[in-house]
Amino acid sequence: MTTMMTLFGGLLAVLVLYATIGLLRSVPPMLRAVLAAIIPLMAYFGLTIGRWPGLDVIAMHISVFSATALVLYALTEFRRRGGKKMHWAPKLLVAFFIGLAFLNAALLQIATKGLPEPIAEWWLGSQGGAVYSGFSGVVPHGQNAAKAVSSELSETHRESQLGWQVEVSGLDGLGKANLIQVRVKDRTGLPVERVAAEVRLLRAGVAEPELILALDSVESGVYAGVLTLPATGRWLVEMRLMQDGKLHYHQIQELTEP
């Protein structure tokens, strides 16, 4: 289930719950709003068990569900007081929260899939090639980013000293299921055996991988496995080759699954 589905599905659930609970005349509007926001949030938290979407996505759901319930409560209170014409302040508040919901959805779409291609070509320009509107960087964002940069440079130096020749196939034309094959040769062109090869699937800016796939040895120096994407959007595919417990090859490639 994608974030867009949970966001707008929960928004619809808040509206339906608020209207349904309103059939019980004994329930005050404030309690109706609280229940209408809390129940979809609890259901969403249940869906995230075992698949952490990130604190920013969680916060987005909390703000949208809570803001929707608050707007419904404000409208109900206005009707109960019998006002003939709504003041401009409540109107501005309602417009703000509606705009906030659509803005959050647009930012979420851009964060996961980038700008739509026509807009990206118009805004960023194109010279006949594909336009990519996002760049995730080479290291995860966080307080240890500076250390990670130094580690990245050290890994690059070790790889150049080792002289492995690595050929990766199966990452072009990414689909739901992809046969990944890695061929590893040493400096002289001979196949390298006893390599622990794995592929890690990450979202941009998220340190923890969504999926870790261990590749099996299919022949001398060749390692393969089937990578299944859990969702659409932009992914970072991290290739790691280890031998005797030491990391000898590390590469990250950004791919998009429509």
pLDDT tens digits for range 55-106: 878 888 888 888 888 888 888 887 777 656 667 777 787 788 778 777 877 7
Q: Residues 162, 105: one domain? A: no
User: Which strands make up the sheet holding 177-185, listed edge to edge?
Assistant: 165-169, 177-185, 222-228, 211-219, 196-202, 233-243, 246-257
Q: Residues 185, 96: one domain? A: no
The identity of residue 176, as a single letter, is K
Final residue in a domain of this structure, among 97, 113, 129 = 113
Asked whether residue 210 is assigned to any structural domain, the reply reads: yes
How many CB atoms lie under 10 A from the CB of residue 107? 12
Q: What are the residue ranges of helices labelled H in 138-252?
A: 145-162
pLDDT tens digits for range 31-65: 999 999 999 999 999 988 877 777 878 888 888 88
- DSSP one-letter string for 62-131: HHHHHHHHHHHHHHHHHHHTT-SS--HHHHHHHHHHHHHHHHHHHHHHHHHH-S-HHHHHHHH--SSS--
**Residue 210 sits in a domain of what CATH number?**
2.60.40.1930
Final residue in a domain of this structure, among 113, 136, 160 = 113
Q: Residues 103, 164: one domain? A: no
How many CB atoms lie under 10 A from the CB of residue 251? 13
List the structure tokens of 103.
Answer: 């803005």
Report which of residues 177 and 14 the model is more confident about: 14
Asked whether residue 134 is assigned to any structural domain, the reply reads: no
Strands 196-202 and 246-257: unpaired
Q: How many folded domains does the chain comprise?
A: 2
pTM: 0.47
Phi, psi of 126 (to 5 degrees): -150, 145
User: Could you tell me the residue range of the domain that residue 37 belongs to?
Assistant: 3-113
